[in-house]
Chains A and B, each alone.
Chain A
């Protein structure tokens, strides 16, 4: 295990966040993600899940409150401390966000080259290992992102996110845009990689199948804060309209049945 259990990968306390002309999006929001768990963030459209991810990733500065990733706030003065915390985190964007001018190989090699201190030979070996982990052949390395299918883009982006062997993986809608078969294969891939490497995961998803398959705990974002956070069993029977609609609909019951059957 790369990090000691019991500590937190992400600690958000008293977060206030606004959008547009001062419209409050998050009000006094708390969320703690342990270093050994898969935390899934769910919430209705427009509830601010993506904005919360942006704050966690340091792409947006909150109005108030504290956001710490591996105990480090993005505003901390120590350049090295912040950089090291960033290197312990991998991000899978919803649409991959691969560098369109670089080949698959160079995309995966990018964080390794940025890290420095590695010879090209070592980088080549690591990139091929990462491509193999996400079930891609070495010859895929020469392709440009424009020549990849949606599923391949996700896998290359996952390989890039895992390049520095992160302790925390942030996934934004990992199965969005994939057909059910590819979606299932991608979820299994993440599950297998996590079993091998034991990284923490923070995942935003609308897909109940993915949620039931991967999540250890679920945080429900609604009414500008986390209205519930706990295991699936604890959260899904809460008497909140969003929770009732999200888990209690036909799709929810079907996914639950499948999840229980799989378990």
Chain B
């Protein structure tokens, strides 16, 4: 049987009679290929789409006549088809096991590198105690300003709104049992010990953590980190340590302001839903919330600040020189920082269960 193809074998040319041509080619594939002689010399124009259809039909064909200008594209596409056939392996039944193993290995590498970074921070901090002249004060104060002062409006607003919501919901329940005044205990302890530090650190993870990872990541992409290292400047001393210390010191202050805003919100709602005057609220607050709760909240905030900045630096220094890695690094950094904060909070909750 002699099969002759002619006309425009291009994406646009084939569009009109797509169904018919595909059907005819499928019929030809059913025939024994050694009995078909292909004449492709009359094809006027051939592009990748047309060549792909033809190459599929020509598999195993013995007699093919093709004009020289189309021979090369047909050969390339035929080779591409064979390569994709070889590469298309069946799904590995152990894929889940392999993926779990790889994930565990990646986690192990993260843990190893994070431990090394933590060790380096400790060594650098010890070296700075011996050489106080090298303390990167400018970077530290810039970090304090960025993570602390500029974060205040958003954290205080969120704190204020959370204070309102929490008090309103608590007031609705407490009113039923006539335990109106307990709202100060519930909201006071909840805000000062838990919500203030948590809100501040979650917002810090989203704001400062992502910014730190992106900054270090871009510095890695543009080889600025390598340039620092070549000049003999310790990357941890210059970039990591000031950020970690700045956030560990700034976050308790931010959490304190968040506490104030949340309590202000609580006071406002107490006034209008339960009729508790602000003066009465302020008078009852120190009795309802022991001062140790405040110090627990502040101490936790410092630990959360350290964790957020440390995780952000860890991910920032791992960014590879491509945009995909930078975006993934920032996302992972924020998620890991928030997860770390929640894990640390759970540990603190267990350790300090009998305090306050």
Q: A residues bordering B, Cβ < 8 Å?
A: 54, 57-59, 82-83, 86-87, 89, 91, 93, 95, 97-100, 110-111, 114, 116
Contact = CB atoms under 8 A, between A and B. Distances in A.
Contact of A95 (B222, B229, B233): B222
B218 A86 contact: no
A110 B138 CA distance: 13
A25 B127 CA distance: 36
Nearest to A93: B223
Interface string B197-235: 000000000000000000000110011101101111100
Nearest to A110: B231
B218 A91 contact: no
A97 B220 CA distance: 10
A54 B223 CA distance: 12
Secondary structure class of chain B's binding surface, majority of residues: helix
B146 to A, nearest CB: 12
Contact of B232 (A83, A93, A95, A97): A83
B231 A97 contact: no
Contacts of A111: 231
B227 A99 contact: yes
A114 B233 contact: yes
Interface residues of B, number: 13
B15 interface: no
Contacts of A58: 229-230
B232 A82 contact: yes
A70 B259 CA distance: 58
Contacts, number: 42
14 contacts: A57-B229, A57-B230, A58-B230, A59-B229, A82-B232, A83-B232, A86-B232, A87-B232, A95-B222, A95-B223, A99-B227, A100-B224, A114-B232, A116-B133
Contacts of B231: 86, 110-111, 114
Interface string B228-244: 01111100000000000
B133 A97 contact: no
B224 A99 contact: yes
B224 A97 contact: yes
Given A93-B223, A93-B227, A116-B133, A100 B218 contact: yes
Contact of B222 (A83, A89, A100): A100
A81 B223 CA distance: 25
Given A100-B218, A116-B133, A59 B232 contact: no
B175 to A, nearest CB: 55
A95 to B, nearest CB: 7
A168 B231 CA distance: 13
B250 to A, nearest CB: 20
Contacts of B223: 93, 95, 97
Nearest to A84: B232
B320 to A, nearest CB: 13
A98 B223 CA distance: 8
Interface string B72-107: 000000000000000000000000000000000000
Nearest to B134: A116
Contact of A86 (B133, B219, B230): B230
A48 to B, nearest CB: 17
The 3 closest A-B pairs by CB, nearest first: A86-B232, A97-B223, A97-B227
A249 B223 CA distance: 33
Contacts of B218: 100
Contacts of B229: 57-59
